[in-house]
């Protein structure tokens, strides 16, 4: 993390607060705090913020607040960050059916790492993953910290269509496809949850700075959760408090 | 309420408003019109809220049939609009009648036209916007470009079409589009990832718009822009008009449908007031970048807002020179009529 946050112009209607030049949980925590602090501060003229790995983009209306005035306000807010009461991050539970037709590459992953399929599932579900940022497509999460024991390179030939909800591994990353798309990730399972639904009140389920936890389910549970999700009656399981550890 | 039938959709005709804001943190692109100036003026001319949804037409225009009387206005690039085969003027309101057909006879200047309809286009809002985001298949008309046979519903306007006739954009505010553009930019956020030579090249050479130009971004070609150490960064946010330079050294201007985040260095950002110019650029056009400061760029936004206000004033307020009260007798009934003489 930089000793002093860098303020960089991104045109005449946005600026970037850059907190460091590496990917770390510490920097990401600061970004999350700053994002919430900005939301609470109600500084007039800020229109939206976009958190990424090591920076926060702040969009603003220069007809309401100018560049220099905005930087002054943000610096002041940064100084007060310690004293602002922030809600702790939460952990979303992602029920996942591993293997079988939904996880056709799980045996690749096991073989590549000299593990059994059971061990792959055990390792994949054994820790909480920080959502560093969303981007690429609506609802796609960049997750941190996968166990190196299940690292597996991408497929040699990408698939032309991967169904929404697919859970995969690409090198040292794990992730979930929010929409049907082509891709080269090793697919190990699928969640019946909809990470992205443009017609839902909250179109995107997950938010940067929080955590997700994969929970193994069987086919019967998968089908019943899927049905509830379709009907809009599914109760998403969100654990409050610190993620990480466990 | 009225409606408009699509006889022929043209190359790419989309319903767009000012964009889908508030969802970039979730990876949802802003979308919205490419040329915000032409968009706002078209709406002012037909008495709409200036950010109302309009049709954005790219290079080859559609053919539309009006099923009801309404006021329309066409702004932006000149694609030679005609009603029932007769050329009509752009940048002013036009009253069309039931059965009239609007067509476009060919690109003369610019790249994109905007068609506003009095009352506005009636499509559902998705995440707070009527804008079409084609890659995400959301917004606009069923999340896609218009097709032949589509019927666009038009909302009931607050003013009758007749009252909207004669609204004109004052000549001095109508932009001219040239094949050689000067785009003003502010440097950053990653200008220090480039060598002094690299920045100098970027600010002194001409860059040509390639065939790879769409609503997501315009790829340009020209002299290579030199990095200090490669063109990759840890992904961060991308603003409208960002000039991204990947490792190959050729710039890409990121536009309405750009992805929300990306991992390439951004040498500069086209200023807001000049974005309408790039929206009207087409393959083969030449661009030169000129550096300004952020406060200068923000002053230019203010000037653009003043222009919009002046256009609004010219359209909405009528200067009355004198008023007379007349008494008319028609079929035995007496009417009192107030007559205003306009300047």
Q: Do A55 and B271 touch (CB under 8 A)?
A: no
The pLDDT value recorded for residue B335 is: 84
Interval B43-74: pLDDT, tens: 999 999 999 999 999 999 999 999 999 999 99
Higher pLDDT, B338 or A83: A83
Residue A220 C-alpha, separation from nearest chain B C-alpha, in angstroms: 31
Residues of chain B found within 8 Å of residue A139, distances taken between Cβ atoms: 26-27
Taking residue B51's Cβ as centre, other Cβ atoms within 10 Å add up to: 18
Band the pLDDT of B329: cuts 50, 70, 90.
confident
In tens digits, chain A (246 residues) has pLDDT values of: 999 999 999 999 999 999 999 999 999 999 999 999 999 998 999 999 999 999 999 999 999 999 999 999 999 999 999 888 888 899 999 999 999 999 999 999 999 999 999 999 999 999 999 999 999 889 999 998 899 999 999 998 889 889 999 999 998 889 999 988 888 899 999 999 999 999 988 999 999 999 999 999 999 999 999 999 999 999 999 998 655 444
Q: B41, B4 in Cβ contact below 8 A?
A: no
The pLDDT value recorded for residue A153 is: 93
With residue A175 as reference, give the H or E element that holds it: strand A173-176
How many percent of chain B have pLDDT more than 70?
97
Residues of chain B found within 8 Å of residue A140, distances taken between Cβ atoms: 27
Interval B250-268: pLDDT, tens: 999 999 999 999 999 999 9
Residue A51 C-alpha, separation from nearest chain B C-alpha, in angstroms: 6
The whole-angstrom separation of Cα B75 and Cα B91 is: 5
Note if the bond before B189 is cis, omega within 30 degrees. Answer: yes
DSSP B226: P
Residues of chain B found within 8 Å of residue A62, distances taken between Cβ atoms: 298, 301
Residues of chain B found within 8 Å of residue A137, distances taken between Cβ atoms: 27, 136
The whole-angstrom separation of Cα B21 and Cα B27 is: 11
Torsion of CA A138, A142, A147, A149, to 10 degrees: 70
- Count Cα neighbours of B258 within 13 Å in the Cβ-side half-sphere: 23
Instruction: Out of A53, A67, A203, name the one closest to residue B234 (CB).
Output: A53
Residues of chain B found within 8 Å of residue A12, distances taken between Cβ atoms: 186, 269, 271-272, 294, 297-298, 300-301
Sign of CA dihedral B30, B36, B104, B111: negative
Residues of chain A found within 8 Å of residue B24, distances taken between Cβ atoms: 48, 50, 57, 59
Residue of chain B nearest A65, judged by CA positions: B298
Report chain B residues touching chain A, CB-CB < 8 A: 21-28, 126-127, 136, 138, 186-190, 234-237, 239-242, 259-262, 266, 269-272, 294-295, 297-298, 300-302, 305
Q: Do B235 and A47 touch (CB under 8 A)?
A: no
Query: Which residues are CB-neighbours of A88 under 8 A, at least 6 positions away?
Result: A240, A241, A242
Residue A62 C-alpha, separation from nearest chain B C-alpha, in angstroms: 6
Residue B241 C-alpha, separation from nearest chain A C-alpha, in angstroms: 8
Residues of chain B found within 8 Å of residue A2, distances taken between Cβ atoms: none
- Count Cα neighbours of A90 within 13 Å in the Cβ-side half-sphere: 12
The pLDDT value recorded for residue B89 is: 97
| φ, ψ of residue A196 in degrees (nearest 5) | -140, 125
Q: Do A136 and B188 touch (CB under 8 A)?
A: no
Mean pLDDT within B276-305: 98
Q: Do B186 and A203 touch (CB under 8 A)?
A: no
Interval B76-108: pLDDT, tens: 999 999 999 999 999 999 999 999 999 999 999
Q: Do A198 and B136 touch (CB under 8 A)?
A: yes
Q: How many distinct helices (H) and strands (E) make up chain B?
A: 5, 21
The whole-angstrom separation of Cα B300 and Cα B272 is: 8
Between A and B, how many residue pairs show a Cβ–Cβ distance under 8 A?
137
What mean pLDDT, rounded, does chain B reach?
Answer: 94
Higher pLDDT, A160 or B338: A160
Residues of chain B found within 8 Å of residue A22, distances taken between Cβ atoms: 234
The pLDDT value recorded for residue B163 is: 81
Residue A39 C-alpha, separation from nearest chain B C-alpha, in angstroms: 12
Best of B29, B237, B292 to disrupt the A interface (most A CBs within 10 Å) is B237
Q: A156, A37 in Cβ contact below 8 A?
A: no
The pLDDT value recorded for residue A177 is: 94
The pLDDT value recorded for residue A244 is: 45
- Helix, strand, coil percent content, chain B, rounded in steps of 5: 20, 40, 40
Residues of chain B found within 8 Å of residue A198, distances taken between Cβ atoms: 126-127, 136, 138
Q: Do B136 and A203 touch (CB under 8 A)?
A: no
Q: Do A12 and B298 touch (CB under 8 A)?
A: yes
pLDDT > 60? residue B116: yes
- Count Cα neighbours of A57 within 13 Å in the Cβ-side half-sphere: 29
| pTM of this structure | 0.91
The sheet carrying A46-51 orders its strands as: A6-9, A14-18, A55-60, A46-51
Interval B9-28: pLDDT, tens: 999 999 999 999 999 999 99
Q: Do B239 and A13 touch (CB under 8 A)?
A: yes
């Amino acid at each position: 993390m930089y000793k002093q946050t860098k303020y960089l112009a991104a045109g005449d209607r946005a600026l970037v607060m850059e907190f460091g030049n590496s990917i770390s949980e510490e920097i990401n925590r600061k970004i999350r705090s700053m994002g919430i602090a900005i939301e609470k501060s109600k500084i007039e003229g800020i229109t939206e913020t976009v958190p990424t790995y090591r920076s926060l983009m702040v969009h603003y209306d220069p007809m309401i607040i100018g560049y220099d005035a905005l930087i002054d306000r943000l610096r002041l807010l940064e100084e007060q960050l310690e004293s602002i009461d922030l809600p702790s991050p939460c952990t979303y539970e992602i029920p996942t059916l591993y293997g079988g037709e939904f996880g056709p590459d799980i045996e690749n992953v096991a073989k590549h790492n000299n593990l059994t399929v059971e061990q792959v599932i055990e390792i994949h579900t054994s820790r909480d993953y920080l959502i560093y940022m969303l981007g690429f497509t609506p609802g796609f999460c960049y997750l941190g910290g996968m166990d190196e024991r299940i690292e597996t390179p991408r497929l040699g030939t990408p698939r032309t269509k991967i169904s929404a909800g697919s859970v995969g591994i690409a090198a040292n990353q794990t992730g979930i496809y929010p929409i049907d798309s082509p891709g080269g990730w090793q697919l190990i399972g699928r969640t019946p949850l909809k990470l992205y639904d443009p017609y839902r009140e909250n179109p995107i389920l997950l938010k940067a700075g929080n955590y997700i936890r994969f929970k193994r389910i069987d086919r019967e549970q998968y089908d019943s959760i899927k049905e509830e999700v379709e009907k809009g009656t599914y109760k998403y399981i969100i654990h409050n408090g610190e993620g990480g550890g466990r | 309420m009225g409606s408009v039938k699509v006889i022929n959709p043209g190359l790419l005709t989309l319903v767009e408003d000012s964009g889908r804001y508030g969802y970039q943190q979730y990876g949802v692109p802003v979308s919205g019109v490419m040329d915000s100036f032409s968009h706002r003026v078209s709406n002012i001319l037909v008495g709409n809220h200036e950010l109302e949804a309009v049709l954005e037409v790219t290079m080859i225009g559609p053919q539309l049939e009006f099923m009801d009387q309404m006021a329309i206005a066409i702004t932006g690039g000149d694609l030679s609009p005609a009603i029932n085969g007769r050329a009509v003027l752009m940048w002013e309101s036009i009253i069309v009648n039931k059965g009239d057909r609007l067509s476009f006879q060919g690109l003369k200047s610019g790249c994109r036209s905007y068609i506003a309809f009095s009352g506005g286009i009636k499509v559902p809002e998705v995440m707070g916007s009527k804008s079409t985001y084609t890659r995400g298949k959301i917004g606009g008309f069923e999340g896609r470009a218009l097709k032949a046979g589509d019927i666009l519903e038009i909302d009931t306007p607050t003013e009758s079409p007749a009252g909207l006739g004669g609204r004109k954009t004052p000549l001095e505010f109508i932009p001219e589009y040239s094949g050689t553009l000067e785009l003003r930019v502010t440097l950053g956020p990653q200008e220090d990832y480039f060598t002094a030579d690299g920045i100098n090249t970027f600010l002194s050479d001409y860059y040509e718009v390639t065939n790879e130009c769409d609503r997501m971004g315009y790829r340009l070609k020209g002299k290579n822009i030199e990095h200090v150490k490669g063109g990759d960064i840890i992904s961060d946010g991308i603003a409208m008009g960002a000039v991204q330079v990947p490792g190959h050294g050729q710039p890409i201007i990121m536009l309405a449908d750009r992805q929300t985040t990306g991992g390439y260095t951004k040498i500069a950002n086209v200023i807001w007031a000049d974005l309408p110019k790039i929206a009207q650029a087409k393959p083969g056009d030449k661009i030169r970048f000129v550096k300004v400061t952020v406060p200068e760029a923000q002053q230019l936004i203010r000037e653009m807002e003043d222009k919009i206000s002046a256009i609004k004033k010219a359209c909405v307020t009528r200067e009355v020179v004198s008023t007379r009260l007349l008494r008319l007798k028609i079929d035995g009934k007496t009417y009192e009529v107030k007559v205003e003489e306009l300047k």
